[in-house]
Chain A
Amino acid sequence: MLNMHPTPTLSHLKPADYQHVYEPAEDTFLFLDALEADVNFIISRSPVVSLEIGCGTGIITTFLQTLLTSHGIPLLSLTTDINPQACKATAATALSNRTSVDAIRTDLAFPLFPRMENGIDILLFNPPYVVTESEEVGSTGIEAAWAGGKDGREVVDRVLRLIPRMLSKNGIFYLVTIRENKPQEIMEYMSTTYNLRSDVVLSRKAGTEGLSILKFYYPA
């Protein structure tokens, strides 16, 4: 399908910034395409609050926000990143695209809970999904953007266990995976453990990466 909604501008970021912050790549652009393809479903769930874990440049949340704005739907967007430069970049990206996103520096999303328990309507996560040694997981620099440990699942699995606390009844959780993350296994786990339905929104092969954007939601 044609990508009709404009990709947010990142012209305020310079090559040197990408030494500290993950530069949007195929996985990012597939995520944007998936959100656009799913916009009617998103609108049908009447979202109020969105949260992105690991926002990097902020391009994904900024895109979602401007996409919904173009449909006349406001959204309160929060993002987190453990990397301070990513938080700074996200604030700048929102500003450059004339929208508002509040970036919070933290590990995952702990300071929002239990206060926001079951209060997140759209949860976005493009995780560190690359299969690496476990020792590489857990930095606060740019490595945090990709190092996923065993099966690329170590950070993903930490977040999966938090989903039932974070997601609202009408919420949607979007997750980027590669084949090595065993997306089918994740979908089965979320269904049997939390009664969350799932779909593959989009898949694309990018070089050696078999990328898929999954979504999870409670049945109506």
Chain B
Amino acid sequence: MRLITHNMLQCHAKGCDPSQSYPLELKEVQLESLDAEYSEDFIRRLIPKLDWNVLVHTAFALGVAELPKELPDVQDEAFLRKVHQVALETRVKEAQMVCNGCGHVYPIKDGVPNMLLQDNEV
């Protein structure tokens, strides 16, 4: 899955503190990069769907890219291409996604996150 999908996933285990259930922390990460077609218009429309702080933090923690802490007022092509590269061209192949609230571990295998909980966890 792409890094943008990590930006959209959260813990949904029963009893997990909602203020701690997002974002999930990526551990033991294996990344790969894949080319995706760049569209400036699309990236501009995608940015409002992102949790910017989480993307900045994740990209930095994984050593993918350094993004500005605050969304710049003027978003030039170099900036938009960087967002494109981080969100859409960086893929998580293998990882553990750990919830900082309840400690639940969601594994990513072969690029597919397993977010399924057991019956007693929902």
Chain A positions within 8 Å of B, measured between CB atoms, are 46, 48-49, 74, 76, 78, 82, 84, 87-88, 91, 100, 102-107, 110-116, 119, 140
Contacts and interface: CB of A to CB of B under 8 A. Distances in A.
Contact of A115 (B10, B42, B45, B113): B10
A104 B9 contact: yes
Nearest to A47: B45
Nearest to B9: A111
A91 B115 contact: no
A88 to B, nearest CB: 7
Contact of B1 (A104, A106, A113, A119): A104
B8 A116 contact: yes
A116 B7 CA distance: 10
Given A74-B37, A74-B42, A76-B46, A115 B8 contact: yes
Contacts of B46: 48, 76
A30 to B, nearest CB: 28
Contacts of B88: 76, 100
A78 B11 CA distance: 17
A107 B106 CA distance: 14
Provide the main secondary structure of the chain B interface: loop
B32 interface: no
Contact of B10 (A49, A105, A111): A111
A110 B49 contact: no
Contact of A74 (B11, B39, B116): B39
B17 interface: no
B15 to A, nearest CB: 14
B51 A84 contact: no
Interface in B87-122: 88, 106, 110-117, 122
Nearest to B34: A100
A104 B115 contact: yes
Interface in B1-52: 1-2, 4-5, 8-12, 18, 22, 34, 36-37, 39, 42, 45-46, 49, 51
A102 B36 CA distance: 13
Contacts of B18: 114
A48 to B, nearest CB: 5
Contacts of B113: 104-105
A110 B111 contact: no
Nearest to B5: A102
A100 B9 contact: no
B89 to A, nearest CB: 10
A49 B47 CA distance: 11
Contact of B114 (A105, A113, A116): A105
Given A74-B42, A110-B12, A112-B9, A104 B49 contact: no
Nearest to B89: A100
A111 B97 CA distance: 12
B112 A84 contact: yes
A118 B8 CA distance: 12
Contacts of A110: 12, 115, 122
